[in-house]
Amino acid sequence: MGKKKEARYTILALIALAILVYFAQNNLDDYKLRILNISAIYVTLGVSLNLIFGFTGQFSLGHAGFMAIGAYVTTLLVLPPWYKEMIFIIKPLIWPFTIIQAPFLIALIISGIFAAGAALLIGLPVLRLKGDYLGIATLGFAEIIRIIANNIPQVTNGALGIKGIPEFTNLYWSVGVAIFTIYIVRGLISSSYGRALMAIRENEIAAEAIGVNLTYHKVMSFTLSAFFAGVAGGLFACLISTIDPKAFMFTMSYNILLVVVLGGMGSITGTVLAAFFYNFFLEYLRSVEAGFSIGPLTIPEIPGLRMVTFSILLLLVIIFRQQGLLGGWEFSWSRLINIIKKIFFHQRATEGGNG
């Protein structure tokens, strides 16, 4: 199938998705919308983590930290000054937050830029080193961000957190950002720069020997990854309308990692599927966890069931299918059509997908 045809199918699918999103946004109840929004935000988080971890091979545990930065920046920008002055009770809010206010879109972009700036600060010294130091460094970084958030009440309102954040995030925003993220990451991965990133993942010494500047490419990938995590943090804040430092604990980074590993490192398609699967299944388990009865049989409350289930799932994947659900497999229309042909028409696939 030609590139033009692939593009045409993609545009049609996007239009269909837009219609679907429109109906979902206008017809579903708040609870369902919330799960869909969270799932879409997880797509952004997962795809961005996949960029640095799955495609570039640099283990990063800092996504919660970048999210936190994005969440606080967005919050401080979208809230009106009078409201901020009112709720900052531990210590008064400092300038310039007392006077500035920005539209949601601008706030999200600035959030991404701040998160990317933080990534640059960690990445430049750490990614220069040979070896897997990024994991440890980012883990420390995310903790530090959380502790700072706790300890600068003049910016974050400390442990009290910030409530009453306007709920700007709807499906248009969350799905729109997810699609934008996929578009950019896919564009990068399918380019010469993307090949360089995967070369680094595959064999750092060989990549460097054929002229790939390791530090530049790693830092670029890490910074871009953090940018999207920051934007996702902003979306998250304006979805749940309340943020405090506890929202960005290590488990948050772990959950995103789980989505990437489940879906398949180096597969954007896998991450998208896993992001929805994770959040839907999580909600299902929530009802199981709360206890239920089937006829006379009553299953009692099982606290922590969700975490245990997902941790077991992760272990199973690591043991039996290291490449994740889809491995490095990537969706394309020609591949989909080939599969359909194989299943329904028992035809031999004639075209190898190369989109």
Q: Which is nearer to other proteins, 154 or 323 (CB)?
A: 323
Which region, judged by CB under 8 A, interacts with other proteins, from 82-90, 102-110, 133-141, 182-190?
182-190
Q: Is 212 in the site for other proteins (CB under 8 A)?
A: yes
Q: Report the phi/psi class of residue 158: left, alpha or beta, with left for phi > 0 and alpha for psi in -120 to 50.
A: left
> Which position among 99, 210, 319, 343 is part of the footprint of other proteins (CB under 8 A)?
210
List, as one string, the DSSP characters of 250-299. Answer: HHHHHHHHHHHHHH-TT-HHHHHHHHHHHHHHHHHHHHHHT-EEETTEEE
> Which position among 99, 209, 294, 297 is part of the footprint of other proteins (CB under 8 A)?
209
Q: Is 159 in the site for other proteins (CB under 8 A)?
A: no
Q: Is 354 in the site for other proteins (CB under 8 A)?
A: yes
Measured from the CB of residue 185, what is the shortest distance to other proteins in angstroms? 9
Q: What share of the chain is helix, strand, coil (3-state, %, to 5)?
A: 70, 0, 25
Binding mask 283-322 for other proteins (x = CB under 8 A): ----------------------------------------
- Taking the C-alpha atoms of residue 115 and residue 150, their distance in angstroms, rounded to an integer, is 18
Which two three-digit tokens encode residue 337?
């059509």
236-274: b (≥16 Cβ within 10 Å) or e? bbbbbeebbbebbeeebbbbbbbbbbbbbbbbbbbbbbb
Q: Which is nearer to other proteins, 49 or 200 (CB)?
A: 200
Q: Which residues ranging from 217 to 276 are in contact with other proteins (CB under 8 A)? A: 220
Measured from the CB of residue 49, what is the shortest distance to other proteins in angstroms? 18
- Taking the C-alpha atoms of residue 226 and residue 253, their distance in angstroms, rounded to an integer, is 12
Q: Which is nearer to other proteins, 128 or 163 (CB)?
A: 128
Q: Which is nearer to other proteins, 115 or 189 (CB)?
A: 189
> Which position among 93, 199, 256, 268 is part of the footprint of other proteins (CB under 8 A)?
199
- Cβ neighbors of 164 (< 8 A, separation 6 or more) are 79, 83, 87, 241, 242
> Which position among 18, 198, 302, 314 is part of the footprint of other proteins (CB under 8 A)?
198
Measured from the CB of residue 324, what is the shortest distance to other proteins in angstroms? 13
Contact 171, 24 (CB under 8 A): yes
Measured from the CB of residue 203, what is the shortest distance to other proteins in angstroms? 5
Q: Is 72 helix (H, G, I), strand (E, B) or coil?
A: helix
Which two three-digit tokens encode residue 162?
């910030």
Residues that bind other proteins (CB under 8 A): 184, 187-188, 191-193, 195-196, 198-199, 202-203, 205-214, 220, 328, 352, 354
